[in-house]
Chain A
Amino acid sequence: MTMTCWETVNAYAFRALGHGERLLPREDFTLCQQFSLIGSGMIWNVYFGLLALLAGFFLATAVALGKNAASPWLRKPCEWFIFLFRGSPLFIQFFLAYEALVLLPRAGIEIFGLTVQTSWLSRAWAGALIVLFLNTAAYTAEIFHGALRSIPKGDLEAADAYGLTGWAKFRRIQWPTMLRLAWPAYTNEAIFLFHATTLVFFSGFPAFQQRGDALYYAKYFVDKTFNPFVPYPIVAFYFILLTLGLIWIFGRINARLNRHLPANTRVRLRLRPQIIR
């Protein structure tokens, strides 16, 4: 039962979502099988990274503003939130979240006579996404907070002089400048968030019906073949592609955020190393 490479791609390209061949490859372990299955797992990495990044962006803006607030009732909770998620390993956060979510009653929770289902929360697609969302929100909030504090004084004074206050001042002056200043650091955060998605199936969350991410399948191949020299470089290859794509998109946004500035004062994207959180 040998398959051509195209058949293999068809069989496994969407295996991570539960489509195609039900059984994972048990023999041959050809390059084609490894590339299709690991690539299929990348769907989950992109899913986690993209949604956590999008949702985290808005929460991060709110938390950064909260941390910048004068009232301690607003500031303290935001500081604690940031410390909690930045001060502990993501690995432990995943474990803890999974254990906590599993404890929710299986039958669901009664709220005002309505039964709210909770079992989906302990599944990776929801549970891990929530953890990643909160985690990236905390890291991003710290970046945005730093940017908020370094908005040029003149910009704010100019806003006051024009009579801008409250929401209008935030929307038209503070927010765009904060984004512009924070963008290089935020690009790094996005890259490392995508890297962090490889932890999902390695910590608490089990892969349902062997639907896992890229690293899950790579580990599967390594366990079967005892050969780390093929599957892990394949994951690395996919991640380098993903990183290059991200850098390109974020670079375009950065150019747009800086378009009003003279070319020599623009903020340049500079990749800084940071790893496991």
Chain B
Amino acid sequence: MFAYCSDPSQLDGLTWLSCYLTTGKHFDFYWSFVTVLTLLAVTAPAALAFGFAGAMAARAPFLPLRVIGKTYTAMVRGIPDIIFFLFFVIALDQGIEWIMHQVRCPDWSEPIRQGLEFRVCPEAKVPHGSAPQSVHRIYGAGLAVFTFALVFGAFVANVLSGAMAAVPRAQLETGESYGMSQGQVFRRILVPQMWVYALPGLSNLWMILLKATPLLFLLGVQDVVYWARELGGAKTSAFEYPHPDWRLWYFLVLLVFYLAMTKVSEIFLTRLQRRLSHGQATADGEAQRRAAA
């Protein structure tokens, strides 16, 4: 990074530190924070979409659809989510390869499960064996995001179906009396009003999602935890920047990062709640109306 960093063994004190903290690997570490934020930014809307679909299915008039919706929301309860994270990623990976195998190699004679091994034909490997490393990494991250969205979607579905039930019935009846169809009532009356009821639950889930991101490390994504362990571990004199075991300090940085994220989210969500309550027939909305009057 800096010109004077060419020979680290000659440096000491702050200059050493400034060089140490600007090595290529440290920039990977800093980027991994961006990775975590990106994954959050992708996962949160995806989970919301899954949840919305689940909540709609759970209140559908068509019985099989309703059963699917209810099963989906009930699925995650009672089972530690870490099991879901570990299970789904492998199951999904093998499932995709199995389907590809059926499509691309219909003449393959050997069984796929040979004792302890899961073997599909080379053409069915996803991503393809010859694909560059970056494709493998993106595929892995994609699987992780999908799993996160699926698991959190179940919780979101729970919150949203509660919120949909909380919208005053009179509001919907008013819509109906104006001659709106079921779909119109849903789109124009129910959905815009349910958010104020859903927000406390959703902000809770956001906090939980935020705190679940270190689990990406378990799914093999090179996230902040990976780099903290990698960089913090003791480095012998064979390395450019030898140092003892500094993992404690790296994890302290992660701790501060997560605490800061929590604090910022708390402030933002409180503001959002106040905004959404404006003009609503809730205690909060009523308090705002009185304060203004």
Chain A residues within CB distance 8 Å of chain B:
29, 83-84, 86-93, 95-96, 99-100, 102-103, 191, 195-196, 198-199, 202, 215, 218-219, 222, 224-229, 232-233, 235-236, 239-240, 243-244, 271, 273-277
Are A275 and B212 in contact, CB atoms less than 8 angstroms apart? yes
Q: In chain B, residues 48-83, which have Cβ atoms closer than 8 Å to a Cβ of chain A?
A: 76-83
Tell me whether A89 and B214 are in contact in the complex, defined as CB-CB below 8 angstroms, given that A224-B116, A276-B208 are known contacts.
yes
Report how far A229 CA is from B117 CA in the complex, Å: 13
Report how far A176 CA is from B81 CA in the complex, Å: 33
Q: Which residues of A contact B78 (CB under 8 A)?
A: 191, 236, 239-240, 243-244
Please name the 8 residue pairs, one residue from A and one from B, whose CB atoms are nearest each other, closest first: A195-B80, A87-B262, A89-B211, A99-B248, A232-B87, A228-B90, A91-B214, A276-B212
Q: Which residues of B contact A83 (CB under 8 A)?
A: 259, 262
Are B248 and A198 in contact, CB atoms less than 8 angstroms apart? no
For the complex formed, measure the closest distance between the CB of B153 and the CB atoms of chain A, giving whole angstroms. Answer: 11
Closest to B113 in A: A227
Report how far A134 CA is from B2 CA in the complex, Å: 44
Chain B residues within CB distance 8 Å of chain A:
76-83, 86-87, 90-91, 94, 113, 116-118, 151, 154-155, 158, 204, 208, 211-215, 217-218, 225, 228, 232, 245, 247-248, 251-252, 254-255, 258-259, 262-263
Report how far A23 CA is from B154 CA in the complex, Å: 40
Report how far A225 CA is from B247 CA in the complex, Å: 33
For the complex formed, measure the closest distance between the CB of A83 and the CB atoms of chain B, giving whole angstroms. Answer: 7
A-B Cβ contacts below 8 A, count: 125
Are A227 and B248 in contact, CB atoms less than 8 angstroms apart? no
Q: Which residues of A contact B76 (CB under 8 A)?
A: 273, 275
Are A239 and B255 in contact, CB atoms less than 8 angstroms apart? no
Report how far A274 CA is from B76 CA in the complex, Å: 10
Are B204 and A276 in contact, CB atoms less than 8 angstroms apart? no
Report how far A232 CA is from B90 CA in the complex, Å: 11
Report how far A226 CA is from B273 CA in the complex, Å: 46
Report how far A198 CA is from B178 CA in the complex, Å: 54
Are B214 and A232 in contact, CB atoms less than 8 angstroms apart? no
Are B211 and A276 in contact, CB atoms less than 8 angstroms apart? yes
Are B259 and A88 in contact, CB atoms less than 8 angstroms apart? yes
Q: A195-B82, A232-B83 provided; 14 other pairs, C-beta below 8 A?
A: A90-B211, A91-B217, A92-B255, A95-B225, A96-B251, A102-B245, A202-B82, A215-B80, A215-B86, A226-B117, A228-B86, A228-B94, A239-B83, A276-B81
